[in-house]
Amino acid sequence: MTLRTLRDASARPLTALTAVLLTAGLLAGCSSTDEPATDATTSTASEETSAPADDATDEATDDESGDAEDAPELSYDGRTGTTALDLLLEADPSAQVTGEGENAFVTAIDGVVADPDSEFWALYVNGEMATVGAGSLETKDGDEITWKLETFTS
């Protein structure tokens, strides 16, 4: 047995162990769960401010940092034939949006800017997270539309 053969033989178990650990890590990181988000990411601010529109309630603070611990939110009623994005811009004309239509992405509501590295404005309809974007979501009379500042989960 030569030194080269001995070195190759001792590297095989280490290579196999590394491959197994890497595969396990990738599978664990890619797995999805059907568990709902924790209450910590969806709690609301305790202080309400005046509503920006007749039927809208706004619980966002004046904090410009988008601190998710305050978890601000904005709620308003749906209106048949109007998108959630159009209603948001009626309720808060200062809301910041990138893109338009089905590609619209809300970045700030009531002056609270979501930190792009850790936060986002989530759209809920009747308590359920929307499955389409605000520019595509046609609301109906009686819908309860809510925007919540949430943090990414990993």
In order, the DSSP letters of 74-136 are EEEE--TT-BHHHHHHHH-TT-EEES-GGG-EEEEETTEEPPTTTEEEEEEETTEE-SS-TTT
Torsion of CA 32, 34, 36, 41, to 10 degrees: 10
Q: Read off the pLDDT band of 8 (50, 70, 90).
A: low
Domain boundaries in the chain?
1-30, 42-151
pLDDT tens digits along 65-113:
444 455 789 999 999 999 999 999 999 999 999 999 889 999 999 999 9
- Rounded Cα–Cα distance for residues 17 and 95 (Å): 51
Question: 3-state DSSP call for residue 8?
Answer: helix
Q: What is the pLDDT of residue 15?
A: 58
Query: What average pLDDT does range 14-34 have in this prediction?
Result: 52
Note the CATH number of domain 42-151.
2.170.130.30
Q: State pTM to two decimals.
A: 0.56
